[in-house]
Amino acid sequence: MERNTLTQNTSFQLGEFDIIAAYFKDLTDQDGVALGIGDDAAIINLPLQSETQLVVASDTLVDGVHFPSDASACQIARRALCVNLSDMAAMAAIPRWFTLALTLPREKANRQWLRDFSAGLAEVALEYNCALIGGDTTAGPLSITITMLGEVAAGAGLMRSGATNGDGIYVTGFLGDGAAGLLATTEINSLSSIPINVSERLLNFFYQPRPQINAALKIRYLASACIDISDGLVADLGHICESSGVAASINTAMLPIHPDLKEHFEDQCHNWALFGGDDYQLCFTVPAADLPAIDDWIFHGELDATRIGSIVSSSDDNPVVLIDGCKSIDQLRGFDHFVL
Ligand code: ADP
Ligand code: MG
């Protein structure tokens, strides 16, 4: 961008270009990058043959909306990168490169905040082997936009639209930890009865969800549809159903809920698993013929996933996602443990 307000302000300790050079320029290995940070745009090498496709996703995190205002720079950076990586997992793509558009209030543009932010970003980028190749730095209310670029074998990208009647429905990991983690960020005091190791696990999970790249790569040739769970299982499974023109029937007794949640949040945990957001697990469907292969991987510990239901044909009388056979959310609220 031409005239950045950061560099115009003389009382500001660090200018835009100082920030980029000190905290973003050499953050990661530059595999496949022909021209990285420092010019008007980055250039990346793509194979001349078309056996791979480029997968592109963007997510913005806004202060006070997507993370609490008292979150540390390191926590914000990790979360921003993880939620973008989760979109790559949802497509079964291998993350490769990302850009960072950082809007930063003047009071945060100090060396310590930027060092922590850069360290959090580098840690996750290293773990998932993706390179920061460019971005933009401006002054204003704190917001972070990451655009992630990944690779997928041509035609192997998992979409929301492939589920058919009779497919099994699976989720990876545990559900409900994201909603519990959000509570842990906002209501530390009301969690005083919860052991410290439990609230710490939840906080860590909230700030560093585990993008399910490996699970996605494992299932990519068997799954018929896939989505990452950012808005809650029912909402996101609903997207698969709408895109695929089907409905889903799930069994709440099968929902994978961490024992900590069952023990300390007995009343809320089913509700969180169904409707809470921020889990960043995958929900995927598998044709009936391939269910034994998936179940075998799960049985042998090669895939951390749970079968929670089946795809059924859609009908005007039923909701898109039938929960324990209930036809409406109102009916569900009849059960104590589903009170919202
Ligand atoms: P321009 O004025 O052409 O838009 P900038 O001066 O904004 O370019 O950026 C200079 C270089 O620094 C570019 O290569 C840009 O991609 C990179 N850059 C700017 N901000 C960031 C950031 N937050 N993270 C990584 N790279 C950045
Ligand atoms: Mg330019």
Average pLDDT over the chain reads 89
Query: pLDDT value at position 171?
Result: 98
pLDDT in tens, 111-164: 999 999 999 999 999 999 999 999 999 999 999 999 999 999 999 999 999 999
Find the 40 Cα to ligand 1 centroid distance in Å. 7
Residue entry with tokens 């997992």? 89
Mean of the pLDDT values across residues 14-29? 88
Q: Which ligand is nearest to the CA of 134?
A: 1
Q: Give the residue-averaged pLDDT of 319-340.
A: 64
Residue 333 has pLDDT above 50, yes or no: no
Q: Which residue's C-alpha comes closest to atom 19 of ligand 1?
A: 136
DSSP annotation of 93:
P
CA distance 10 to 212: 44
User: Model-level pTM greater than 0.75?
Assistant: yes
Domains of the chain: 5-153 (3.30.1330.10), 168-331 (3.90.650.10)
**Residue 124 in contact with residue 85, Cβ under 8 Å?**
yes
Predicted confidence (pLDDT) at residue 80 exceeds the cutoff of 90: yes
- Spacing, Cα 100 to ligand 1 middle (Å): 9
**Which is it for strands 168-172 and 247-250: parallel, antiparallel or unpaired?**
unpaired
Quote the pLDDT of residue 1.
Answer: 47
What confidence score (pLDDT) does residue 156 get?
A: 92
- Band of residue 17 on the pLDDT scale cut at 50, 70, 90: confident
Q: Does 98 have pLDDT greater than 50?
A: yes
User: With pLDDT > 90 as the criterion, what percentage of the chain qualifies?
Assistant: 72
Nearest atom within ligand 1 for CA of residue 137: 20
Query: pLDDT by residue (tens digit) across 272-297?
Result: 999 998 999 999 999 999 999 999 99
3-state SS class at 158: coil
Q: pLDDT for 31-76, tens place per residue?
A: 889 899 988 888 998 876 678 999 999 999 999 999 999 999 999 9
| Bridge partners, residue 339, by sequence | none
Is the pLDDT score of 323 beyond 90?
A: yes
Distance (Å) from CA 39 to ligand 2 centroid: 7
195 in ligand 1 pocket by Cβ < 6 Å?
Answer: no
Question: Could you tell me the two tokens for 162?
Answer: 């492939």
Q: Which residues surround ligand 2, an ion (CB under 5 A)?
A: 40
Counting ligand 1 atoms within 8 A of each CB, the residue from 16, 30, 37 with the most, and so the one to mutate, is 37
Per-residue model confidence as pLDDT tens digits over 185-236? 877 656 667 888 998 999 889 988 999 999 999 999 999 999 999 999 999 9
Return the pLDDT at 273: 97
Which residue, 323, 141, 113, 290, is CA-closest to 218?
A: 290
Is residue 199 within 8 A of residue 69, CB to CB? The reply is: no
Please report, rounded to a whole number, the percentage of residues in the chain having pLDDT higher than 70: 90
Pairing state of beta strands 52-62 and 143-153? antiparallel
Residue type, 198: V
DSSP summary character for residue 57: E
Which residue is listed with tokens 């089946």? 310
pLDDT of residue 75: 95
Q: Give the whole-angstrom CA distance, residue 273 versus residue 234.
A: 9
Mutate to test the pocket of ligand 1, among 8, 19, 20 (most ligand atoms within 8 A of CB): 20
Q: Which of 20-29, 103-112, 325-334 has the lowest mean pLDDT?
A: 325-334
**DSSP secondary-structure letter at 175?**
S
Neighbours of 101 (CB within 10 A): 17
Range of weakest confidence among 101-115, 122-136, 228-242, 305-319:
305-319
| Predicted pLDDT of residue 10 | 38
